[in-house]
């Protein structure tokens, strides 16, 4: 009798584990992930600058990028655009890509669907009104996201973009420390920097020289990612669906 009970208990445990595992697998399959990096072997990478507070280093950043023939992407918050409209236009006129970083830089996973759409659409519209260029990229503030946010971005024609290499420039690291963190970059990586961090201007020549020595070329995020026929795995790596580049 005891043996039968023990067997029954074991069977129940197995069933529970299988059911739980099934739910876990379904949850993982349904979870939406932004693009953290791209599966490509052509030695292309992207460097991006988030802009929310301050602007005094932005022109210097663009100057250094131009010196090294680097085409970067700037993710701008809507209230930054309101405060620096001429600089926003200059970023686009100098050949850099602009994406939205929301309207007010909130923790967007805590917002209602209506407010998420408002954050995305208002900020993108402001940028387009100034630059006459449609916005197709979005970076979530704080890197915080949920399925609703990704779905709303997709609804508005925006690709949600994270990063695979974090410079941690916002922590006040010196230029060499920033560059050392970024030097691990490889083909398909997206680098996160900020437009007003303490030592980013001094760090950029070190970063760009390191990339050149590794044979890497910088392209805007919009040229690094695949716009159609792609998948994004559980790590955020985007890959082409069909045979060809990136597969």
pLDDT digits (tens, 9 = 90+) for 198-209: 999 999 999 999
Cβ atoms of 190 and 169 within 8 Å: the answer is no
Same domain, yes or no, for 106 and 19? Answer: no
Same domain, yes or no, for 8 and 44? Answer: no
Burial annotation 31-57 (CB, 10 A radius, 16+ → b, else e): eebbbbbbbbeeebbbbbbbbbeeeeb
Same domain, yes or no, for 43 and 20? Answer: no
pTM over 0.75: yes
Same domain, yes or no, for 82 and 170? Answer: yes
For 10-60, how does the pLDDT look when each residue is reduced to its tens digit (9 = 90+)?
444 434 444 444 433 444 458 999 999 999 999 999 999 999 999 999 999
Instruction: Please check whether residue 15 lies inside any domain of the structure.
Output: yes
Distances (CA, A) of 102 to 9, 60, 67, 111, 179: 52, 24, 30, 12, 28
Q: How many domains does the chain have?
A: 2
Residue 156 burial (C-beta neighbours within 10 Å; 0-12, 13-18, 19+)? middle
Instruction: Please check whether residue 246 lies inside any domain of the structure.
Output: no
Instruction: Please check whether residue 207 lies inside any domain of the structure.
Output: yes
Domain that holds residue 142: 37-240
Q: What is the DSSP letter of 110?
A: G
């Amino acid at each position: 009798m005891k043996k039968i009970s023990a067997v029954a208990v074991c069977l129940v445990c197995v069933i529970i584990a299988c059911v739980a595992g099934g739910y876990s697998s379904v949850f993982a399959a349904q979870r939406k992930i932004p693009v953290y990096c791209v599966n490509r072997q052509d030695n292309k990478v992207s460097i991006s600058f988030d802009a929310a507070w301050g602007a005094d280093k932005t022109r210097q950043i663009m100057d250094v990028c131009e010196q090294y023939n680097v085409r970067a992407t700037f993710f701008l918050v809507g209230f930054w655009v309101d405060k620096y409209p001429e600089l926003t236009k200059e970023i686009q006129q100098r050949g850099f890509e602009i994406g939205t970083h929301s309207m007010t830089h909130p923790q967007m996973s805590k917002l209602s669907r209506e407010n998420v759409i408002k954050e995305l659409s208002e900020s993108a519209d402001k940028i387009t009104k100034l630059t006459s260029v449609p916005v197709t990229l979005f970076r979530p503030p704080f890197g915080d996201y949920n399925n609703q946010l990704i779905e709303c971005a997709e609804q508005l024609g925006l690709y949600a973009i994270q990063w695979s290499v974090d410079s941690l420039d916002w922590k006040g690291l010196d230029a060499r420390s920033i560059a050392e963190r970024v030097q691990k970059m490889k083909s398909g990586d997206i680098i996160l920097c900020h437009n007003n961090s303490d030592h980013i201007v001094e760090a950029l020549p070190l970063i760009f020289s390191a990339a050149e020595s590794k044979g890497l070329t910088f392209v805007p995020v919009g040229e690094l990612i695949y716009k159609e026929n792609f998948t994004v795995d559980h790590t955020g790596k985007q890959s082409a669906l069909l045979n060809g580049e990136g597969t």
